[in-house]
Structure 1
Amino acid sequence: MDILPVILAKNLFFCYGVKRALKITSNSIKTCKMSIYTFGPLIHNPQVVRDLEGKGVKAVNNLRGIKEGILIIPAHGIAPQIINEAKAKGLRLIDATCPYVQRVKDLAKSLKDEGYQVIIVGDQGHPEVEGILGFIKEKAVVLTKSSQIRPAKIAKKVGVVAQTTQTLDNFQTIVRNLLKFTKELKVYNTICEETIKRQTSARRIAKVVDLMLVIGGKNSANTNRLAKICQEEVKTYHIEEAKELKAGWLKGKKRIGIAAGASTPDWIVKEVVNKVRSGK
């Protein structure tokens, strides 16, 4: 049987922030004898989280019942209220927040301090966005798309930041529309450069293949956006593992493109690539 050609997107495997968070957690596992927790998943990949649980790292959604131990702040950050609660309980905090996520928080706070109404281009309810809202200690406007803009609620001075995994097109569209309703607009493009590179590469490949496979957690914002981008160009399937791949998807296809989210481990990508190439 002929090997099915596969075109791989650039910037596969873990991004810097994910690598950093995993390294911090790995060091904690090796050196700490206390119970280790993460508030929510350390990264948005169920397989990696399951692997960490096997090593004794438990993901929790609240701190009730936890009296001692280590709480690792995940790569996408958490709200200050959670940090304060952990400190009050006497838990040891280890910060694995991605530096690029922390930068968004710092810039949002500087905008607030300068008297700007803060607008966050991002997903309402996402941990990163919730962390930003908590950090600036003020109600900000969260916009997922430009149709959500309510002119009556837009101030004369507006400052804009973006969730790090947003698409540049969406960010630019919202900013352009905000210009219609405000007198002064200060914009920080806080989309992670790694995110932009992944999105650009995935779209480029999607234009020249018969099918795209996007690999990563279904709870991963950046992976979901990659899948959406690719779907605009060609039939696309978002999968987490090789076992989800169906042979029927490959039937009659001449070239398959593969992209992966920033929290997708290399071993999962390799398993998918090998299965696609085998045609099974």
Structure 2
Amino acid sequence: MNIIRAKTAGFCFGVDRAVKLTYDLLADGHKVATLGPLIHNPQVVEDLEAKGALTCPDVASVPDGYEVIIRSHGVPQTVYDEISTRRLAYHDATCPFVAKIHKIAMRADENHALLLVAGDASHPEVQGIVGHTKGKVKVFANLEELEKMLPELLQQESIYVVAQTTFRVESWEKCKEFLKKQCTKAEIFDTICNATWARQQEAEDLSQKCDHMVVIGGHHSSNTQKLLQVAARHAVAINVETADELDPAWLKDAVTVGVTAGASTPSSIIEEVLNSMSEEIRDDM
């Protein structure tokens, strides 16, 4: 069995920045509370909590004296207002790519434009984006949903279109093509982050060279699940959070296995999975 590791696997810039910030604050003795799990990786979240970090669902549940950490997903403007009202110190780890979308959302509001968001309406990043405009907003998950919105879109004077940073690239391209043909008033902003573009393209290329693909990352991580969808188009693909989830029987007939990882997956877990796979190879020899 041959193992090929994706070059882009592991922490993206935004996640790495948020994790490093939190660990540094804890090391310096700060009392910190993250709004929601800092990243979509249970192992990292558990380690942070073991070092004293609190994971709070909202600002109201943050104890007095704690400093708030806004995770890379970003938050609605109302959350900043709540933090200010309580006079809590905070550290903003919103990914710069996400912060850019927030500015576009605010501009849509100022220009009385409809904000059209490609993404998962239930995802914290999308909720944060939507929460930066008081104007009209529509969220769609795929081309089919977008097509159903066309009659309403054609009635709009101005439309700003953005995408969740982890939106599937192939789907985004189809949606853009549709809008350019059917809705010429739409102003489209390419807001999928560079890391997502690179990871999905590499997963696409790598899966075509392999008969099996292992995608390492949180089962609830948006970018990890997008990688899994891409990889599964060309190879037998599975998603594991840790090496313990890797079933040796699944690799039994594998000839070439590609390994990639979501943006919230630390290098230590990637190495554990790779080592586990290497041990399987040695045991079969």
TM-score, normalised to structure 1's length? 0.94
1:236: how far off? Answer: 0.4
SS of the residue corresponding to residue 13 of structure 1 reads coil
Greater shift after overlay, 178-187 or 100-109? 178-187
User: For the Cα contact (< 8 Å) 1:156–1:182, is it kept in 2?
Assistant: no
CA separation of 1:151 and 1:213: change in aligned 2, threshold 3 A: same
Which of 1, 9, 27 is matched with 2:24 structurally?
27
Matched, 1:152 2:148: no
1:179: how far off? Answer: 3.5
Matched with 1:52 is: 48
Matched with 2:33 is: 37
Matches within 5 A, 1:241-280: 241-279=242-280
1:277: how far off? Answer: 1.5
Matched with 1:108 is: 105
1:222: how far off? Answer: 0.5
Aligned counterparts of 1:51 and 1:88: Cα–Cα separation in 2 = 30
Matched, 1:133 2:134: no
Matched with 1:200 is: 201
User: For the Cα contact (< 8 Å) 1:121–1:162, is it kept in 2?
Assistant: yes
1:111: how far off? Answer: 3.2
User: For the Cα contact (< 8 Å) 2:108–2:133, is it kept in 1?
Assistant: no
User: For the Cα contact (< 8 Å) 1:214–1:236, is it kept in 2?
Assistant: yes
Matched, 1:80 2:77: yes
Amino acid at match of 2:71: P
Q: Deviations over 1:116-148 (max 9, x none)?
A: 211011111111111111112233111111111
1:221: how far off? Answer: 0.6
User: For the Cα contact (< 8 Å) 1:202–1:259, is it kept in 2?
Assistant: yes
1:168: how far off? Answer: 1.9
1:86: how far off? Answer: 2.2
1:36: how far off? Answer: 1.3
Aligned counterparts of 1:161 and 1:263: Cα–Cα separation in 2 = 22
Matched with 1:167 is: 168
TM-score, normalised to structure 2's length? 0.92
Aligned counterparts of 2:184 and 2:9: Cα–Cα separation in 1 = 41
User: For the Cα contact (< 8 Å) 1:11–1:198, is it kept in 2?
Assistant: yes
Aligned counterparts of 2:111 and 2:182: Cα–Cα separation in 1 = 19
Aligned counterparts of 1:232 and 1:273: Cα–Cα separation in 2 = 23
Matches within 5 A, 1:7-18: 7-18=4-15
Aligned counterparts of 1:54 and 1:144: Cα–Cα separation in 2 = 36
Q: Deviations over 1:215-274 (max 9, x none)?
A: 001111100100010011111001100000001101121111101001100010011011
User: For the Cα contact (< 8 Å) 2:113–2:136, is it kept in 1?
Assistant: no
Matched with 2:95 is: 98
1:90: how far off? Answer: 2.3
Amino acid at match of 1:88: T
SS of the residue corresponding to residue 224 of structure 2 reads helix
* Unmatched 5+ stretches in structure 1: none
Question: What's the RMSD between the two structures over aligned residues?
Answer: 1.5
Amino acid at match of 1:268: I
User: For the Cα contact (< 8 Å) 2:5–2:259, is it kept in 1?
Assistant: yes
1:49: how far off? Answer: 0.8
1:206: how far off? Answer: 0.5
Greater shift after overlay, 61-70 or 187-196? 61-70
Aligned counterparts of 2:60 and 2:116: Cα–Cα separation in 1 = 32
1:157: how far off? Answer: 2.3
SS of the residue corresponding to residue 135 of structure 1 reads coil
Matched with 2:179 is: 178
Aligned counterparts of 2:133 and 2:8: Cα–Cα separation in 1 = 32
Q: Percent identity?
A: 34
SS of the residue corresponding to residue 60 of structure 2 reads coil
Aligned counterparts of 1:196 and 1:277: Cα–Cα separation in 2 = 29
